[in-house]
Amino acid sequence: MLKLLNLLKDGRFHSGEALGAALGVSRSAVWKQLQHLESELNLTIHKVRGRGYQLAAPLNLLEAQAIAGFSEGEPWPAFIHDSIDSTNAEGLRLAAQGQAAPFLVLAERQSAGRGRRGREWVSPFAENLYYSLVLRIDGGMRQLEGLSLVVGLAVMRTLKTFGLKDVGLKWPNDVLASGRKITGILLELVGDPADVCHVVLGIGINVNMQGAEQIDQPWTSMRGETGQLVDRNRLVAELSQHLQHELARHRRYGFAAFQEEWEQAHLWQGRKVSLVAGTTRIDGVARGVDGQGGLRLEIDGVEKSFSGGELSLRLRDDS
């Protein structure tokens, strides 16, 4: 199936005879594979008598060689899958099997992509970026403090290099463009954080996606913001370089070095918000983050800090 996709990805017409010859199969076998591509990957393929078969839009598939070509220096080793349950889950499996970190897991699509608090992450084929970076953390909770916020800064800077202008952060793990969600970040940890552990930095970016009825919140994509198709191989390389830089700074100085610049990028700074945990709701004013990445919330004139993976921040109706 992937060989057939590689033949069709240019968006041009290809005859059934030429496709069959290239794959070493009959024209009827090509027809069956094309039907499979349409039903399995939800791709639209035009069929025109006398001209052959054409993808409705060219495909930009992830390729290690192309990523390396866009990279400065030596890129992280990357495991690229056409389909997988979750890049984060695969990263954890590889770490458990002894794969040396750091390394990347990338996929064209996810069958069980996950967001925070167990939500589904919609993952259509070859349209977005499903990116998991696995790191080894040796001896120190300090290296984990504010880590997801640092990742958000790296993503925001990457998006700006592609021409996105109205981009900012929402505590704790979202990147917004034009006020709508464009990126989600999910960190997962295995091992002993006080000794040796592995952390998976899962990043999902809406890249070339133009429609997704399953998403239940306002969203946008890089293509939607700029009107331009984005080369996802270049995006992987740019994101990796920003992450390398910011993670090295975080290891050296801790999150406190990022506190001020993160607050400057926080879209809801000074806004009336509600912090929600299950059925509990706390109303206050967002005042920023503390040195560990926790949310500083002013409640009835008193400032308190909150942190935790199950917390959700929302704008208050009256703001």
Active site residues: 116, 181, 314
- Cβ atoms of residues 185 and 146 within 8 Å: no
- Is 142 annotated in a binding site? The answer is no
CB 207 within 8 A of CB 158: no
- Rounded to whole angstroms, the Cα distance separating 42 from 39 reads 5
How far apart are the C-alpha atoms of 11 and 212, rounded to whole Å? 22
Element spanning 236, H or E: helix 232-253
Tell whether 114 is in a known binding site: yes
C-alpha–C-alpha distance, residues 181 and 174, integer Å: 7
Q: Confirm or deny that 32 is annotated as ligand binding.
A: no
* Cα atoms in the Cβ-side hemisphere of radius 13 Å centred on 112: 7
Is residue 139 annotated as involved in ligand binding? no
Length of the chain: 319
181 has binding-site annotation: yes
Query: Using CA atoms, how far apart are residues 238 and 181, in angstroms rounded to an integer?
Result: 20
Given a contact cutoff of 8 angstroms between Cβ atoms, the answer to whether 154 and 246 are in contact is yes
Going by C-alpha positions, the residue among 200, 229, 224, 191 that lies closest to residue 106 is: 200
Q: Is 86 annotated as a binding residue?
A: yes
Q: How many other CB atoms are there within 10 angstroms of residue 226's CB atom?
A: 15
> Is 116 flagged in the annotation as binding?
yes
User: 82-86, long-range: CB within 8 Å, 24+ apart, which pairs?
Assistant: 82/1, 82/2, 82/107, 82/108, 82/109, 83/107, 83/108, 83/109, 83/110, 83/111, 83/125, 84/109, 84/110, 84/111, 85/110, 85/111, 85/112, 86/110, 86/112, 86/113, 86/114, 86/202
Question: Residues marked as binding?
Answer: 86-88, 110, 114-116, 181
Question: Residues marked as binding for biotin?
Answer: 86-88, 110, 114-116, 181
